[in-house]
Amino acid sequence: MIIAENHGDRIIPVFCPKCGATATELQATGRKTGVVVGGVVGAALTAGFRGAKAGAAGGAAVASVIGRNPTTATMGAIAGALVGFLWGARAGYIIGRVVDEKLLRLYRCHACGEEFNA
Protein backbone atom coordinates (compact mmCIF):
# COMPACT_ATOMS: atom_id res chain seq x y z
CA MET A 1 0.00 0.00 0.00
CA ILE A 2 1.47 3.32 -1.01
CA ILE A 3 0.74 6.09 1.44
CA ALA A 4 0.78 9.66 0.22
CA GLU A 5 0.30 12.87 2.14
CA ASN A 6 -2.11 15.43 0.77
CA HIS A 7 -0.61 18.93 0.69
CA GLY A 8 -3.39 21.04 -0.71
CA ASP A 9 -3.36 20.62 -4.50
CA ARG A 10 -0.50 18.08 -4.64
CA ILE A 11 -0.05 14.60 -3.24
CA ILE A 12 3.43 13.61 -2.07
CA PRO A 13 4.23 9.91 -1.46
CA VAL A 14 5.90 8.96 1.82
CA PHE A 15 9.33 7.43 1.19
CA CYS A 16 11.21 5.22 3.62
CA PRO A 17 14.35 7.06 4.83
CA LYS A 18 16.28 3.77 5.08
CA CYS A 19 15.60 2.03 1.76
CA GLY A 20 13.67 4.65 -0.27
CA ALA A 21 10.62 2.44 -0.86
CA THR A 22 7.16 3.96 -1.19
CA ALA A 23 5.43 0.89 0.26
CA THR A 24 4.80 2.50 3.64
CA GLU A 25 1.90 2.29 6.05
CA LEU A 26 0.59 4.74 8.64
CA GLN A 27 0.83 3.17 12.09
CA ALA A 28 -2.39 2.82 14.10
CA THR A 29 -1.09 3.93 17.51
CA GLY A 30 -3.69 6.64 18.04
CA ARG A 31 -6.53 4.53 16.69
CA LYS A 32 -5.73 1.56 18.93
CA THR A 33 -5.42 3.77 22.01
CA GLY A 34 -8.58 5.67 21.08
CA VAL A 35 -10.62 2.48 20.72
CA VAL A 36 -9.55 1.16 24.12
CA VAL A 37 -9.93 4.43 26.03
CA GLY A 38 -13.14 5.42 24.25
CA GLY A 39 -14.68 2.00 24.77
CA VAL A 40 -13.88 1.87 28.47
CA VAL A 41 -15.09 5.43 29.08
CA GLY A 42 -18.25 4.86 27.02
CA ALA A 43 -19.05 1.65 28.88
CA ALA A 44 -18.39 3.21 32.27
CA LEU A 45 -20.50 6.28 31.57
CA THR A 46 -23.36 4.34 30.06
CA ALA A 47 -23.43 1.63 32.71
CA GLY A 48 -22.99 4.12 35.52
CA PHE A 49 -25.61 6.62 34.48
CA ARG A 50 -28.00 5.78 31.71
CA GLY A 51 -27.44 2.07 31.50
CA ALA A 52 -28.34 1.38 35.09
CA LYS A 53 -31.50 3.48 34.90
CA ALA A 54 -32.55 2.20 31.48
CA GLY A 55 -31.62 -1.34 32.45
CA ALA A 56 -33.65 -1.17 35.62
CA ALA A 57 -36.66 0.27 33.78
CA GLY A 58 -36.39 -2.22 30.94
CA GLY A 59 -35.80 -5.06 33.37
CA ALA A 60 -38.87 -4.06 35.36
CA ALA A 61 -40.99 -3.98 32.19
CA VAL A 62 -39.75 -7.41 31.11
CA ALA A 63 -40.13 -8.74 34.64
CA SER A 64 -43.78 -7.72 34.70
CA VAL A 65 -44.35 -9.84 31.60
CA ILE A 66 -42.19 -12.91 32.30
CA GLY A 67 -42.20 -12.78 36.05
CA ARG A 68 -39.99 -11.10 38.61
CA ASN A 69 -36.36 -11.96 38.06
CA PRO A 70 -33.49 -9.93 39.53
CA THR A 71 -31.25 -10.70 36.58
CA THR A 72 -33.40 -8.83 34.04
CA ALA A 73 -32.36 -5.40 35.36
CA THR A 74 -28.75 -6.55 35.51
CA MET A 75 -28.88 -7.81 31.93
CA GLY A 76 -30.35 -4.47 30.85
CA ALA A 77 -27.47 -2.61 32.51
CA ILE A 78 -24.95 -4.91 30.82
CA ALA A 79 -26.60 -4.33 27.44
CA GLY A 80 -26.44 -0.58 28.07
CA ALA A 81 -22.75 -0.85 28.94
CA LEU A 82 -22.10 -2.82 25.75
CA VAL A 83 -23.81 -0.19 23.62
CA GLY A 84 -21.83 2.52 25.43
CA PHE A 85 -18.59 0.60 24.79
CA LEU A 86 -19.35 0.35 21.07
CA TRP A 87 -20.20 4.04 20.73
CA GLY A 88 -17.18 5.07 22.78
CA ALA A 89 -14.87 2.79 20.80
CA ARG A 90 -16.15 4.21 17.51
CA ALA A 91 -15.64 7.79 18.71
CA GLY A 92 -12.18 6.87 20.00
CA TYR A 93 -11.28 5.35 16.62
CA ILE A 94 -12.29 8.50 14.76
CA ILE A 95 -10.35 10.76 17.12
CA GLY A 96 -7.39 8.38 17.08
CA ARG A 97 -7.29 8.44 13.27
CA VAL A 98 -7.00 12.23 13.33
CA VAL A 99 -4.21 11.98 15.93
CA ASP A 100 -2.38 9.42 13.75
CA GLU A 101 -2.69 11.50 10.58
CA LYS A 102 -2.12 14.99 11.95
CA LEU A 103 0.00 14.67 15.11
CA LEU A 104 1.91 11.39 15.37
CA ARG A 105 2.53 10.62 11.67
CA LEU A 106 4.34 7.35 12.45
CA TYR A 107 4.96 5.13 9.41
CA ARG A 108 6.33 1.63 8.84
CA CYS A 109 8.07 0.49 5.65
CA HIS A 110 6.79 -2.78 4.18
CA ALA A 111 10.06 -3.41 2.37
CA CYS A 112 12.58 -3.17 5.23
CA GLY A 113 10.42 -2.84 8.38
CA GLU A 114 11.83 0.56 9.36
CA GLU A 115 9.56 2.73 11.56
CA PHE A 116 9.88 6.46 11.06
CA ASN A 117 8.16 9.85 11.39
CA ALA A 118 7.14 11.70 8.26
pTM, two decimals, is 0.71
| 94: amino acid identity, one letter | I
pLDDT at residue 88, rounded to an integer: 92
Given pLDDT bands bounded at 50, 70 and 90, which one contains residue 8? Answer: low
Q: How far apart are CA 43 and CA 73, in angstroms?
A: 16
pLDDT at residue 33, rounded to an integer: 96
pLDDT at residue 80, rounded to an integer: 76
Specify the 3-state DSSP secondary structure of 72. Answer: helix
pLDDT at residue 90, rounded to an integer: 95
pLDDT greater at residue 92 or residue 63: 92
Per-residue pLDDT at 95 exceeds 60? yes
- What's the Cα-to-Cα distance from 81 to each of 40, 44, 73, 74, 111, rounded to whole Å? 9, 7, 12, 11, 42
Beta strands, E only, 14-112: 24-26, 106-109
CB of 15 within 8 A of CB of 22?
Answer: yes
Percent of the chain with pLDDT over 90: 47
pLDDT greater at residue 108 or residue 5: 108
CB of 83 within 8 A of CB of 46?
Answer: yes
